[in-house]
């Protein structure tokens, strides 16, 4: 039995109050989204201002989707970051390139819809610092993540990988405890499940989510 509390990432922070709510609730990571079609999309300037508000203990993660070097160069120069999250179709070689170029830990997201998607996770073990096991977006979806959709957690029940991994996809304060129990995840990531509307974070839901993930009473 593992007594270390589950680490939580709150993704899609867009206001200083979101950063404060995530930190107050006990989240370990805060995510900033850089994807134009997302309701959580940030400019570099807005992200730099939010990053300045993040206390020690809240790791600042930048989520990008198939970003090129020019964008990543500007991002890393402008925003103090602790990790890059690659949420597009970046192949293992691109993950290795990004890791070498910026010297930041890289988390690679992989969408899971059915058992056929699981081998893809293995292809990133040698190059990524962490893996994000997310729900595969529906065909034709506008966003490659952040859709509030879960996958069948039984697909990964009892699975272990040689690098740290996070569970994501449609998690909510009501479902996260069951997701953790079924999968054995020690890290979870949420965006839509702690929002009152797309792109609008709710401090009470954030507190409830982190507490539920860690099996304790919320810190409000």
Ligand X SMILES: O=C(O)c1ccccc1N[C@@H]1O[C@H](COP(=O)(O)O)[C@@H](O)[C@H]1O
Q: At closest approach, how far in Å is the CB of 219 from ligand X?
A: 21
- Quickly count: other Cβ atoms within 10 Å of residue 43's Cβ: 10
In angstroms, the CA 90 to CA 110 distance is: 10
Contact between 33 and ligand X (CB under 6 A)?
yes
Q: At closest approach, how far in Å is the CB of 201 from ligand X?
A: 11
Closest CB to ligand X among residues 11, 72: 11
Could you tell me the two tokens for 127?
């190059």
Q: Where are the beta strands (DSSP E) in 24-177?
A: 29-34, 59-64, 83-86, 106-112, 130-135, 165-167
Find residue 189's DSSP bridge partners.
Answer: 9
Q: At closest approach, how far in Å is the CB of 34 from ligand X?
A: 9
Angle at 57 between CA 52 and CA 63, to 5 degrees: 65
Contact between 30 and ligand X (CB under 6 A)?
no
Closest CB to ligand X among residues 1, 50: 50
Selected from 7, 8, 12, 214, the binder of ligand X by CB under 6 A is 12
Q: At closest approach, how far in Å is the CB of 171 from ligand X?
A: 6
In sequence order, which residues have a C-beta less than 8 Å from that of residue 153 and are 6 or more positions away?
167, 179, 182, 183
Q: Which of 11, 129, 142, 215 is catalytic?
A: 11
If we measure between CA atoms, which residue out of 154, 7, 147 comes closest to residue 83?
Answer: 7
Stretch of residues binding ligand X (CB under 6 A), selected from 14-22, 137-145, 177-185, 209-217: 137-145
Selected from 6, 8, 10, 11, the binder of ligand X by CB under 6 A is 11
- Region of residue 146 (phi > 0: left; psi between -120 and 50: alpha; otherwise: beta): left
Contact between 144 and ligand X (CB under 6 A)?
yes
Closest CB to ligand X among residues 91, 100: 91
134 is catalytic: yes
Closest CB to ligand X among residues 63, 112: 63
Query: What does the DSSP assignment read for 115-160?
Result: GGGHHHHHTTTTT-SEEEEEEPPPTT-S-SS-S-----GGGGTT--
Could you tell me the two tokens for 95?
């993950």
In angstroms, the CA 166 to CA 188 distance is: 5
Contact between 6 and ligand X (CB under 6 A)?
no
Binding-residue total with ligand X (CB under 6 A)? 27
- The values of phi and psi at residue 45, to 5°, are -65, -45
Contact between 113 and ligand X (CB under 6 A)?
no
Selected from 145, 173, 183, 188, the binder of ligand X by CB under 6 A is 145
Catalytic residues: 11, 134
Q: Which residues make up the interface to ligand X (CB under 6 A)?
A: 11-12, 31, 33, 35, 38, 40, 63, 65, 87, 132, 134, 143-148, 168-171, 189-193
């Amino acid at each position: 039995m593992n007594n270390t509390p589950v680490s939580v990432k709150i993704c899609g922070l867009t206001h200083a109050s979101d950063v404060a709510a995530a930190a107050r609730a006990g989240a370990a990571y805060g995510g900033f989204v850089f994807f134009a079609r997302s309701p959580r999309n940030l400019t570099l300037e807005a992200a730099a201002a939010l990053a300045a508000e993040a206390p020690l203990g809240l790791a600042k993660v930048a989520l990008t989707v198939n970003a090129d070097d020019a964008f990543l160069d500007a991002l890393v120069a402008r925003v103090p970051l602790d990790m890059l999250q690659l949420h597009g179709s970046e192949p293992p070689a691109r993950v290795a390139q990004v890791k070498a170029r910026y010297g930041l830990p890289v988390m690679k997201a992989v969408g899971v819809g059915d058992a056929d998607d699981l081998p893809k996770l293995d292809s990133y073990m040698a190059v990524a610092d962490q893996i994000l096991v997310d729900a595969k977006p529906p065909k034709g979806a506008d966003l490659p993540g952040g859709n509030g959709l879960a996958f069948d957690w039984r697909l990964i029940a009892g699975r272990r990988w040689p690098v740290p991994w996070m569970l994501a996809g449609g998690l909510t304060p009501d479902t996260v405890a069951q997701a953790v129990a079924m999968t054995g995840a020690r890290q979870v990531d949420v965006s839509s499940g702690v929002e009152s509307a797309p792109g609008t974070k709710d401090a009470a839901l954030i507190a409830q989510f982190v507490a539920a993930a860690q099996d304790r009473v919320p810190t409000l």
